[in-house]
C-alpha cells in the first residue's frame, strides 16, 4: 500500500513537471518573440530578401531598386541606413547601381518559402522590412516549439529549463533577430525531427521534399536521411527512393528557374572576393582552383576549435556519444546487436545526421557561420539532454516522465 501511494505521488510529481516544462517552453517562445521584435538586427541581407519578394510581382530593375531603398530609408533609423548603404564599396555600389543590386537577387530568391511568407505579409499592408523581421522571429519561435514536441518524450521535464542556455550559446537568438531564411530552416528541421522521432513517415517524407524550398542546401539533409533509411529500414526503401527522386528534381528546378549562379560563383563571392562581388554575372564562367579552395579552408578551419557555438556543438556530441557507447558496452550485447541498437535509436541518428550535415556542408562550402547550423546545434544539445535523462531514469529506476503527457 505504501509503495502504491509512493508511486502515485511520483507519477503526480512527474505530471506536474511535464506540464511545467510545457508551459515554460510556450512562455519562453512568446517572450522570445516579444524581445526579438523589439530588438531587431538590421543586416544587408534584408534588402536582398525584400527585393526578391518584390521581384515575384514586378520584374522591373529600377522600380525594385528604388522601392527597396525608399522603403528601407523610411523604416530604418539614420545610423542603420547609412551603415547598409555606404559602409563599404559593395554596399555603396548596391545603393547607387540598380543593375548590380538586381544581380544579387538570385542568391536570395531560391529560398522561395521564406520569400513567399514575406510577400504574403506585405500583401496584408505590412511594411516589407517589418514583414521580414516578423517571419524570422515567428519561425524561430515556432522552431523552439517544434523541437520541444519532437524531444519532449525523450527528455526529463526538469532539463527543459536549461534550453535558454543553449538557445543563447548557439546564437539562435541572433538568428531570430536577423532577417534570414535560416530561421525558417531551424523551424523546418524541428518539424522534420518531430516527424522522424514519432515515425510519421508520410509527413516526414513530404517535409523532406519541401525542405528544398526552404533552403536548397537542405538537399544534404535529404541525402543523409534517405541514405540512412535505405540502409536500415527496408520497409521504407520505396518511399525513401521516391523522396530522393522528387527532392533532386525540386533542387534542379528551383536553381534553374531562378537562375541561381552555382557553386563556383558563390564560392568566388564568399571567399575569393571576400563578399565584394558587385556584378556576379561577370563571373559565371569562373572556376575555383584547388589553391583557392584550400586557402578558404585554411582561413576557416581554426573555427572548429575557436568558435563558441561550434565548440559547444562538439562537446554536446562527444559527451552524448561517450554515454551511449558506454551504455552499449554495459548491456553485454554482441557488437552486432549493439550496432543495430544504436542505429535504431532516433536520437542517436538525428545526432549523427547533424554531425554529417555540418561536416559535408563545410567540405562543400568551408564557412562555419552559426546561422547555417542552428538546427543541427540544437539537436546536439537535446540529444545530450536525452541521454542524460536516460541515465537519470536508469539510476532512479523510473520512466514516468516518458509516459505522462501534459494536457
Grid coordinates belonging to 333: 550485447
Residues 6 or more apart whose CB falls under 8 angstroms from that of 256 comprise none
pLDDT at 95 over 70: yes
Q: What is the pLDDT of residues 347-383, one digit of tens each?
A: 999 999 999 999 999 999 999 999 999 999 999 999 9
Phi-psi region of 125 (alpha: psi -120 to 50; beta: other; left: phi over 0): left
Q: Give the CA distances from residue 202 to residues 181, 196, 198, 350, in Å, rounded to whole numbers and listed in that order.
A: 25, 10, 11, 18
Residue-level pLDDT at 274:
83
**Among 153, 155, 173, which Cα is nearest to 164's?**
173
The pLDDT of residue 400 is above 70 = no
- Look at 36 and 393; give whichever has higher pLDDT: 36
Among 129, 135, 133, 130, which residue's Cα sits nearest to residue 112?
Answer: 135
Give the number of other CB atoms < 10 A from CB of residue 311.
14
Report the chain's mean pLDDT, rounded to a whole number: 90
pLDDT tens for 192-212 read 999 999 999 999 999 999 999
Using only C-alpha atoms, the chain has a radius of gyration, in whole angstroms, of 23
What span, in angstroms and rounded, lies between the C-alpha atoms of 140 and 375?
Answer: 10
Taking 3-state DSSP, the helix, strand and coil percentages for the chain, each rounded to the nearest 5, stand at 80, 0, 20
> With bands split at pLDDT 50, 70 and 90, how would you rate the model's confidence at 394?
confident
Beta bridge partner(s), residue 178: 41
What pLDDT band is residue 6 in, cutting at 50, 70 and 90?
very low
Q: Is the pLDDT of residue 403 over 50?
A: no
Residue 159: which residues within 8 A CB-CB, separation 6 or more? 385, 388, 389
Confirm if 23 and 135 have CB atoms less than 8 A apart. Answer: no
Please state the rounded mean pLDDT for residues 149-158.
94
Q: List C-alpha distances in Å: 131 to 107, 108, 121, 362, 405.
A: 19, 16, 6, 31, 35
Residue 20 has pLDDT above 50, yes or no: yes
Q: Is the pTM of this model over 0.75?
A: yes
* For residue 154, pLDDT beyond 90: yes
- Nearest by Cα to 208 from 242, 256, 233: 242
Q: Which three cell numbers stand for residue 373?
A: 547550423
Alpha-carbon torsion 189, 191, 192, 198, what sign? positive
Q: Take residue 301 and report the three cell numbers written for it.
A: 578551419
Amino acid at each position: 500500500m505504501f509503495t502504491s501511494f509512493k508511486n502515485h505521488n511520483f507519477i503526480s510529481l512527474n505530471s506536474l513537471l511535464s506540464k511545467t516544462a510545457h508551459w515554460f517552453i510556450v512562455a519562453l517562445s512568446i517572450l522570445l518573440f516579444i524581445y526579438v521584435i523589439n530588438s531587431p538586427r538590421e543586416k544587408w541581407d534584408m534588402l536582398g530578401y525584400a527585393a526578391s519578394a518584390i521581384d515575384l510581382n514586378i520584374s522591373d530593375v529600377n522600380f525594385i531598386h528604388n522601392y527597396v531603398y525608399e522603403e528601407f530609408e523610411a523604416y530604418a533609423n539614420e545610423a542603420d541606413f547609412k551603415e547598409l548603404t555606404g559602409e563599404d564599396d559593395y554596399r555603396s555600389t548596391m545603393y547607387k547601381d540598380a543593375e548590380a543590386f538586381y544581380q544579387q537577387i538570385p542568391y536570395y530568391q531560391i529560398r522561395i518559402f521564406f520569400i513567399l511568407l514575406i510577400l504574403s505579409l506585405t500583401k496584408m499592408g505590412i511594411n516589407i522590412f517589418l514583414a521580414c523581421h516578423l517571419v524570422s522571429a515567428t519561425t524561430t519561435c515556432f522552431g523552439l516549439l517544434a523541437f520541444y514536441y519532437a524531444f519532449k518524450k525523450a527528455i526529463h521535464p526538469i532539463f527543459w529549463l536549461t534550453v535558454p542556455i543553449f538557445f543563447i550559446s548557439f546564437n539562435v537568438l541572433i538568428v531570430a533577430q536577423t532577417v534570414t531564411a535560416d530561421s525558417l530552416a531551424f523551424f523546418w528541421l524541428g518539424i522534420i525531427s518531430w516527424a522522424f522521432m514519432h515515425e510519421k513517415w508520410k509527413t516526414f517524407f513530404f517535409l523532406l521534399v519541401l525542405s528544398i524550398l526552404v533552403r536548397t542546401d537542405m538537399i544534404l539533409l535529404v541525402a543523409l536521411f534517405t541514405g540512412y533509411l535505405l540502409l536500415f529500414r527496408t520497409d521504407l526503401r520505396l518511399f525513401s527512393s521516391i523522396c530522393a527522386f522528387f527532392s533532386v528534381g525540386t533542387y534542379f528546378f528551383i536553381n534553374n528557374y531562378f537562375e541561381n549562379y552555382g557553386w563556383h560563383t558563390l564560392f568566388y563571392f564568399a571567399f575569393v572576393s571576400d563578399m565584394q562581388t558587385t556584378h556576379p554575372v561577370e563571373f559565371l564562367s569562373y572556376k575555383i582552383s584547388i589553391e583557392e579552395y584550400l586557402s578558404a579552408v585554411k582561413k576557416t578551419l581554426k573555427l572548429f576549435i575557436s568558435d563558441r557555438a561550434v565548440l559547444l556543438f562538439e562537446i554536446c556530441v562527444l559527451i552524448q556519444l561517450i554515454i551511449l557507447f558506454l551504455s552499449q558496452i554495459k548491456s553485454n550485447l554482441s557488437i552486432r546487436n549493439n550496432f543495430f541498437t544504436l542505429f535504431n535509436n532516433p536520437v542517436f541518428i538525428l545526432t549523427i545526421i547533424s554531425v554529417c550535415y555540418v561536416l559535408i556542408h563545410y567540405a562543400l562550402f568551408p564557412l562555419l557561420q552559426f546561422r547555417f547550423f542552428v538546427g543541427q546545434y540544437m539537436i546536439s544539445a537535446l540529444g545530450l539532454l536525452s541521454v542524460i535523462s536516460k541515465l537519470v531514469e536508469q539510476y532512479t529506476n523510473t520512466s514516468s516522465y516518458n509516459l505522462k503527457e501534459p494536457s
